[in-house]
């Protein structure tokens, strides 16, 4: 009889120990503490929650870039979001390209016709800035090996995708503030150069 009582007692103690362990585990994993409130603010799903402060939360996200110019051709949409004059004597033009053509796009006609630019592959190396008033055309800057100081679209751009691009040019004279940005078969985009970007 002692053996039976001892076995029954051990079984009860084991069950109590397991139950206690499970309760502590569930309590430790459960929500409701201050730590969870802080982590909710950092999750990507928190902006989807609505508590009347949607305007404040949207302002925390990166602001939408202002579009200085936008042109469309062949299902592509080219947007210029900035054109800033830098201290080094050049202008950096930035923007986005969206492929709405329904097929993959590799930017082959954007790399330019010059033999030196062929090594840049699908890129924006063939872009230019045109100073209408000064009657000058500025080509994308290159290094000594012919590599452009611009974006290369490695792997192309699938239909429906948007990607950012940049290109650097020699700076027009200080009094030139308006230029046309041209690349490939896209129409020219009138752009205003800002100082010190």
Residue spans of the domains in the chain: they are 2-60, 69-195
Q: How many angstroms separate the CA atoms of 188 and 182, rounded?
A: 5
**49 pLDDT exceeds 50?**
no
Residue linked to tokens 């996200």: 61
**CATH T-level assignment (fold) for domain 69-195:** Immunoglobulin-like (2.60.40)
Residue 75 pLDDT greater than 60, yes or no: yes
pLDDT at site 47 = 42
Query: Is 58 a residue whose pLDDT tops 90?
Result: no
* 5: confidence class by pLDDT, cuts 50, 70, 90: low
Strands (E), 60-133: 69-73, 76-85, 90-99, 128-131
pLDDT computed for residue 96 by the predictor: 94
Distance of CA 9 to the CA centre of its chain: 65
Predicted confidence band of residue 161 (pLDDT cuts 50, 70, 90): very high
Rounded Cα distance, 114 and 151, in Å: 17
């Amino acid at each position: 009889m002692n053996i039976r009582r001892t076995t029954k007692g051990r079984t009860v103690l084991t069950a109590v120990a397991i139950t206690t362990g499970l309760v502590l585990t569930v309590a430790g994993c459960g929500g409701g503490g201050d730590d969870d409130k802080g982590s909710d603010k950092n999750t990507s799903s928190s902006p989807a929650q609505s508590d009347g402060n949607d305007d404040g939360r949207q302002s925390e996200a990166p602001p939408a870039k202002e579009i200085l110019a936008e042109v469309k051709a062949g299902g592509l949409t080219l947007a210029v979001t900035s054109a800033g004059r830098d201290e080094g004597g050049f202008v950096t033009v930035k923007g986005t390209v969206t492929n709405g053509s329904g097929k993959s796009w590799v930017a082959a006609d954007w790399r330019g016709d010059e033999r030196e630019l062929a090594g840049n592959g699908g890129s924006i190396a063939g872009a230019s800035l045109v100073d209408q008033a000064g009657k000058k055309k500025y080509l994308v800057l290159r290094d000594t090996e012919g590599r452009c100081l611009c974006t290369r679209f490695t792997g192309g751009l699938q239909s429906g995708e948007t990607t950012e691009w940049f290109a650097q040019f020699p700076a027009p004279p200080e009094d030139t503030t308006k230029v046309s940005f041209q690349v490939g078969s896209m129409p020219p985009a009138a752009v205003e150069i800002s100082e010190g970007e």
